[in-house]
Amino acid sequence: MAFGNSWLQAVQSGGQRFAAGIDISSQNVRLIVLSQRSRARSSLHLEYMNTVPLAASAMAGTEITDRQAVARALRDAFAGMPRVCVAQALQCAMAVPASITMTTTVPLARLAAQSQCEQHDGGPALAGLAPAVMAEAERIAGLERHALAADWAVDERPAPVRAVKITAMARQHLEARIECAASAGISLSAVDGEPHAALRAMRYAANHELDPCEPYVALWIGTDGVHGWRMANGVIDGDMHYPAPEHTDLADALRDLTHGPRFDCALVSGEIDLLDGAGFSLADIGDVLGCSVLPFECGLLSTCVRPIDHELLHQPASAVAFGLALRGVIE
C-alpha cells in the first residue's frame, strides 16, 4: 500500500508511460525502468536495469544510517539511464521493508460509527473517516499521530461486511527515503511495501507464464522472512509469513498454503540465497508444496529495448523493483 495521495497520479508522455522501481536492500540499490504504450496496452519494454552496491555502513537492518551513501548509490544507479527515459516524465516508486509497516483491517461500519459520519448513497462519507483511521493507525503502530505515516483504502467488493485496510509506519522511515531520493535528484511518486510489489510482479508473471485458470503459489524471500500467497482465479485465497509464532519451521509455514485448490506451480522471488539460513532450497520448497518451482525472471516478461546484462535479467531478487515499475505503467 502506498503513502501519499498526490503520489498516486500516473504520468503519461507522448502516449507512452515510463516508470521506475527502486529497491534499497541492505547490500545494494536495484533500479528497473519500464515503458508501455498506454493506448494499446501493448507489451512491456524494459528500458533500463541497474544494480549498485551499497557501502556496508549505509544500512543497519531496515534503518538508513548513512543517507549520503544511499543518495550516492541512487545517483549512480540512475547515471546510465538512456536519454529517452530522462527526457520523459518518469514516475518513480520506492520500496519499504515489510518489517517496518503495520497493517490492520477494520469493518467500515465501525469506523463510520466512531467518526459519526453522515450517510450518503447508503454509505458513510469517506472523507469523514480520517480521524478514526488515524486512531487505528496509532493503535497498531504504538506511536502518536505526529510520528506516523499512514494510508488506507476501502474494499470496494460487494461483500456483506465492507472493510478498510490501514497501513502505518514510523514517519522517520518514510522521511529518510524521501530525503535520500531528493538528494539524488529523484522525485518519488509512490512508496510501496516490498511484499506487495513482489506479489504484483509475480501475478504479472503468472498471467504470462501459467494457464489463466491455474491456481498457483507465489513466494517472496526477504531479509524479514518468507511471505507466501495461494492464488486462485486471480485473487488471494490464502497467505503465510515465516518466521511467525504459529509456525515451528519454514516447512510448517509452507504447508498452510496447501489447504485449498490444488496447484501445480510455485513462483519464487527475492533473495533465494537466504533460504540457506533456514536449511532450505528451491527443491525443498517443491517437495513440501508438491509442485514444480519457477524462479522469477523479469527478462521473460518484457522486451529489452537495448542490451542489458544477462545476469540482471534473470535475478529473482529483481521482483520488487519490477513490481514497483509495473505499477507505474499499468495502474
Q: What is the pLDDT of residue 73?
A: 97
pLDDT greater than 50 at residue 225: yes
Flag the least confident range among 83-92, 244-253, 281-290, 291-300: 83-92
Q: What is the pLDDT of residue 40?
A: 54
Spatial neighbors of 29 by CB under 8 A, at least 6 apart, are 22, 23, 51, 52, 54, 70, 73, 74, 76, 77
Q: What is the pLDDT of residue 113?
A: 85
Are 322 and 201 in contact, with CB atoms under 8 Å apart?
A: yes
Separation of alpha carbons 42 and 186, rounded Å: 27
Are 190 and 171 in contact, with CB atoms under 8 Å apart?
A: no
Flag the least confident range among 86-90, 182-186, 312-316: 86-90
Flag the least confident range among 88-92, 97-101, 292-296: 88-92
Looking at every residue in the chain, the average pLDDT score rounds to: 86
Domains of the chain: 5-99+173-195+301-330 (3.30.420.40), 100-170 (3.30.1490), 210-296 (3.30.420.40)
Residue 7 pLDDT level (bands cut at 50, 70, 90) = very low
Q: What is the pLDDT of residue 303?
A: 83
Share of the chain above pLDDT 90, in %: 55
pLDDT greater than 50 at residue 324: yes
pLDDT greater than 50 at residue 171: yes
pTM of the predicted protein model: 0.87
